[in-house]
A = this chain, B = another copy of it.
Protein backbone atom coordinates (compact mmCIF):
# COMPACT_ATOMS: atom_id res chain seq x y z
CA UNK A 1 0.00 0.00 0.00
CA UNK A 2 2.82 2.37 0.80
CA UNK A 3 4.32 2.07 -2.64
CA UNK A 4 0.99 2.51 -4.30
CA UNK A 5 0.02 5.53 -2.27
CA UNK A 6 3.40 7.08 -2.79
CA UNK A 7 3.17 6.68 -6.52
CA UNK A 8 -0.35 7.98 -6.65
CA UNK A 9 0.71 11.08 -4.83
CA UNK A 10 2.65 12.36 -7.79
CA UNK A 11 0.74 10.42 -10.36
CA UNK A 12 0.61 11.68 -13.87
CA UNK A 13 -2.42 11.54 -16.03
CA UNK A 14 -4.92 13.01 -13.65
CA UNK A 15 -7.45 14.70 -15.83
CA UNK A 16 -7.85 18.46 -15.85
CA UNK A 17 -11.51 17.86 -15.00
CA UNK A 18 -10.48 16.46 -11.64
CA UNK A 19 -7.84 19.12 -11.04
CA UNK A 20 -10.36 21.87 -11.75
CA UNK A 21 -12.52 20.55 -8.95
CA UNK A 22 -9.79 20.51 -6.31
CA UNK A 23 -9.96 24.23 -5.45
CA UNK A 24 -13.67 23.89 -4.91
CA UNK A 25 -13.20 20.96 -2.53
CA UNK A 26 -10.56 23.02 -0.81
CA UNK A 27 -12.96 25.91 -0.42
CA UNK A 28 -15.75 23.84 1.11
CA UNK A 29 -13.41 21.93 3.39
CA UNK A 30 -12.01 25.23 4.60
CA UNK A 31 -15.50 26.32 5.54
CA UNK A 32 -16.19 23.10 7.38
CA UNK A 33 -12.89 23.45 9.19
CA UNK A 34 -13.70 27.03 10.20
CA UNK A 35 -17.02 25.82 11.54
CA UNK A 36 -15.15 23.34 13.66
CA UNK A 37 -16.46 20.26 11.87
CA UNK A 38 -14.13 17.35 12.46
CA UNK A 39 -15.27 14.67 10.10
CA UNK A 40 -17.28 14.56 6.90
CA UNK A 41 -18.53 11.69 4.77
CA UNK A 42 -18.62 11.81 0.99
CA UNK A 43 -22.41 11.79 1.29
CA UNK A 44 -22.48 14.85 3.55
CA UNK A 45 -20.07 16.69 1.31
CA UNK A 46 -22.18 15.63 -1.64
CA UNK A 47 -25.22 17.30 -0.11
CA UNK A 48 -23.38 20.54 0.57
CA UNK A 49 -21.52 20.77 -2.71
CA UNK A 50 -24.17 19.36 -4.99
CA UNK A 51 -21.98 16.82 -6.68
CA UNK A 52 -22.34 13.06 -6.35
CA UNK A 53 -20.69 11.29 -3.45
CA UNK A 54 -19.31 8.89 -5.99
CA UNK A 55 -17.50 11.66 -7.80
CA UNK A 56 -16.00 12.92 -4.57
CA UNK A 57 -14.65 9.50 -3.69
CA UNK A 58 -13.33 8.93 -7.19
CA UNK A 59 -11.68 12.32 -7.31
CA UNK A 60 -9.97 11.96 -3.97
CA UNK A 61 -8.83 8.45 -4.74
CA UNK A 62 -6.81 9.70 -7.63
CA UNK A 63 -4.38 10.93 -5.02
CA UNK A 64 -4.45 8.12 -2.52
CA UNK A 65 -6.54 7.04 0.42
CA UNK A 66 -7.49 10.13 2.34
CA UNK A 67 -10.43 8.62 4.16
CA UNK A 68 -11.18 5.92 6.67
CA UNK A 69 -13.72 3.26 5.92
CA UNK A 70 -16.74 3.38 8.18
CA UNK A 71 -15.77 6.86 9.35
CA UNK A 72 -15.36 9.25 6.46
CA UNK A 73 -12.76 11.96 6.03
CA UNK A 74 -11.06 14.03 8.67
CA UNK A 75 -11.80 17.58 7.59
CA UNK A 76 -8.59 19.17 8.77
CA UNK A 77 -6.40 16.44 7.32
CA UNK A 78 -8.17 16.40 3.97
CA UNK A 79 -8.07 20.18 3.78
CA UNK A 80 -4.35 20.18 4.37
CA UNK A 81 -3.71 17.40 1.87
CA UNK A 82 -5.66 19.08 -0.89
CA UNK A 83 -3.86 22.32 -0.10
CA UNK A 84 -0.61 20.47 -0.49
CA UNK A 85 -1.70 19.02 -3.82
CA UNK A 86 -2.51 22.54 -4.96
CA UNK A 87 0.96 23.66 -3.98
CA UNK A 88 -0.31 25.93 -1.23
CA UNK A 89 2.24 24.66 1.24
CA UNK A 90 4.93 26.39 -0.81
CA UNK A 91 5.43 30.05 -1.50
CA UNK A 92 5.14 31.26 -5.07
CA UNK A 93 6.77 34.36 -6.38
CA UNK A 94 4.86 36.28 -9.00
CA UNK A 95 5.27 39.29 -11.21
CA UNK A 96 2.55 41.28 -12.84
CA UNK A 97 3.17 42.29 -16.41
CA UNK A 98 0.92 45.19 -17.29
CA UNK A 99 0.13 47.81 -14.66
CA UNK A 100 -3.25 48.77 -16.06
CA UNK A 101 -6.52 48.56 -14.17
CA UNK A 102 -6.59 44.80 -14.04
CA UNK A 103 -2.94 44.45 -13.06
CA UNK A 104 -3.47 46.93 -10.26
CA UNK A 105 -6.61 45.21 -9.08
CA UNK A 106 -4.86 41.85 -8.87
CA UNK A 107 -1.86 43.39 -7.10
CA UNK A 108 -4.18 44.79 -4.47
CA UNK A 109 -6.20 41.64 -3.94
CA UNK A 110 -5.07 40.33 -0.59
CA UNK A 111 -6.37 36.79 -0.78
CA UNK A 112 -3.64 35.62 -3.11
CA UNK A 113 -0.92 36.66 -0.67
CA UNK A 114 -2.76 34.83 2.07
CA UNK A 115 -2.40 31.61 0.06
CA UNK A 116 1.30 32.05 -0.50
CA UNK A 117 1.20 33.80 -3.86
CA UNK A 118 3.54 36.72 -3.32
CA UNK A 119 3.75 39.60 -5.77
CA UNK A 120 7.36 40.57 -6.18
CA UNK A 121 7.38 42.99 -9.09
CA UNK A 122 5.19 44.83 -11.54
CA UNK A 123 6.12 45.95 -15.03
CA UNK A 124 4.69 48.26 -17.62
CA UNK A 125 5.84 49.69 -20.88
CA UNK A 126 4.46 53.17 -20.14
CA UNK A 127 7.40 55.27 -18.86
CA UNK A 128 5.04 57.58 -17.01
CA UNK A 129 4.27 54.74 -14.61
CA UNK A 130 7.86 53.80 -13.91
CA UNK A 131 8.81 54.62 -10.38
CA UNK A 132 5.22 54.94 -9.22
CA UNK A 133 4.00 52.48 -6.61
CA UNK A 134 1.15 50.02 -6.71
CA UNK A 135 0.63 48.68 -3.27
CA UNK A 136 4.21 48.23 -2.11
CA UNK A 137 5.62 47.59 -5.57
CA UNK A 138 7.45 50.01 -7.78
CA UNK A 139 6.49 49.81 -11.43
CA UNK A 140 9.50 48.86 -13.53
CA UNK A 141 10.17 49.06 -17.25
CA UNK A 142 9.61 45.99 -19.41
CA UNK A 143 13.29 45.75 -20.28
CA UNK A 144 14.01 44.64 -16.74
CA UNK A 145 11.65 41.66 -16.75
CA UNK A 146 14.12 38.95 -17.76
CA UNK A 147 16.75 39.97 -15.25
CA UNK A 148 14.16 40.28 -12.52
CA UNK A 149 12.75 36.81 -13.13
CA UNK A 150 16.18 35.27 -12.93
CA UNK A 151 17.34 37.20 -9.89
CA UNK A 152 14.20 36.86 -7.83
CA UNK A 153 13.27 33.27 -8.49
CA UNK A 154 9.92 34.12 -10.04
CA UNK A 155 7.56 31.19 -10.78
CA UNK A 156 4.51 32.81 -12.19
CA UNK A 157 3.91 35.77 -14.46
CA UNK A 158 0.50 37.39 -14.48
CA UNK A 159 -0.10 38.70 -17.97
CA UNK A 160 -2.42 41.70 -17.96
CA UNK A 161 -1.45 43.46 -21.15
CA UNK A 162 -3.40 43.96 -24.37
CA UNK A 163 -3.45 41.01 -26.72
CA UNK A 164 -1.36 42.79 -29.34
CA UNK A 165 1.82 42.53 -27.28
CA UNK A 166 0.94 39.36 -25.35
CA UNK A 167 2.61 36.87 -27.69
CA UNK A 168 5.99 38.59 -27.80
CA UNK A 169 6.01 39.31 -24.08
CA UNK A 170 5.12 35.68 -23.40
CA UNK A 171 8.15 34.64 -25.43
CA UNK A 172 10.34 36.89 -23.33
CA UNK A 173 8.95 35.36 -20.17
CA UNK A 174 9.59 31.86 -21.43
CA UNK A 175 13.15 32.68 -22.42
CA UNK A 176 13.74 34.10 -18.96
CA UNK A 177 12.71 30.78 -17.47
CA UNK A 178 9.23 31.43 -16.14
CA UNK A 179 7.38 28.28 -15.05
CA UNK A 180 3.82 29.41 -15.50
CA UNK A 181 1.73 32.18 -16.99
CA UNK A 182 -1.62 33.33 -15.68
CA UNK A 183 -2.92 34.81 -18.87
CA UNK A 184 -5.57 37.53 -18.86
CA UNK A 185 -4.81 38.69 -22.40
CA UNK A 186 -7.55 37.90 -24.86
CA UNK A 187 -5.46 35.60 -26.99
CA UNK A 188 -4.15 32.05 -26.86
CA UNK A 189 -0.45 31.96 -26.10
CA UNK A 190 1.75 29.71 -28.13
CA UNK A 191 4.55 28.56 -25.88
CA UNK A 192 6.25 25.26 -25.04
CA UNK A 193 4.22 22.52 -23.42
CA UNK A 194 6.22 22.45 -20.23
CA UNK A 195 5.30 26.03 -19.37
CA UNK A 196 1.95 25.99 -17.64
CA UNK A 197 -0.72 28.36 -18.86
CA UNK A 198 -3.98 29.17 -17.19
CA UNK A 199 -6.23 31.39 -19.25
CA UNK A 200 -8.72 33.82 -17.79
CA UNK A 201 -10.52 35.01 -20.87
CA UNK A 202 -12.94 37.48 -19.34
CA UNK A 203 -14.57 38.35 -22.65
CA UNK A 204 -15.20 34.70 -23.38
CA UNK A 205 -16.75 34.28 -19.98
CA UNK A 206 -19.07 37.23 -20.47
CA UNK A 207 -20.08 36.01 -23.91
CA UNK A 208 -20.94 32.62 -22.49
CA UNK A 209 -23.15 34.31 -19.93
CA UNK A 210 -24.77 36.28 -22.70
CA UNK A 211 -25.46 33.09 -24.66
CA UNK A 212 -27.12 31.52 -21.67
CA UNK A 213 -29.37 34.50 -21.11
CA UNK A 214 -30.90 34.13 -24.51
CA UNK A 215 -31.13 30.38 -24.80
CA UNK A 216 -33.11 28.11 -22.60
CA UNK A 217 -31.65 26.65 -19.50
CA UNK A 218 -29.35 23.73 -20.19
CA UNK A 219 -28.13 22.55 -16.84
CA UNK A 220 -28.00 23.64 -13.25
CA UNK A 221 -26.46 26.99 -12.48
CA UNK A 222 -24.15 25.69 -9.81
CA UNK A 223 -20.57 24.57 -10.26
CA UNK A 224 -19.33 24.49 -13.85
CA UNK A 225 -16.55 26.52 -15.48
Contacts and interface: CB of A to CB of B under 8 A. Distances in A.
Interface of A: 10, 12-16, 19-20, 22-24, 26-27, 85-88, 90, 92, 100-102, 104-106, 108-109, 111-112, 115, 117, 155-156, 179-180, 182, 186-225
| A-B complex: 4 closest residue pairs judged by Cβ atoms | A101-B105, A23-B204, A87-B210, A198-B209
Contact of A88 (B188, B194, B200, B207): B207
Given A188-B222, A217-B194, A204 B24 contact: yes
A208 B23 contact: yes
B200 A111 contact: no
A206 B87 contact: no
A147 B203 CA distance: 28
11 contacts: A15-B218, A19-B212, A22-B207, A23-B208, A24-B188, A86-B208, A100-B105, A117-B206, A189-B221, A199-B225, A204-B225
Contact of A206 (B182, B187, B224, B225): B182
Contacts of A211: 19, 22, 85-87
A99 to B, nearest CB: 11
Contacts of A224: 16, 199
Contact of A202 (B188, B200, B203): B200
B111 A203 contact: yes
Contacts of A214: 87, 90
Contact of A101 (B15, B108, B180, B216): B108
Contacts of A101: 104-105, 108-109
Nearest to A13: B218
Nearest to A50: B188
A220 B186 CA distance: 19
A2 B117 CA distance: 55
A111 to B, nearest CB: 6
Nearest to A104: B101
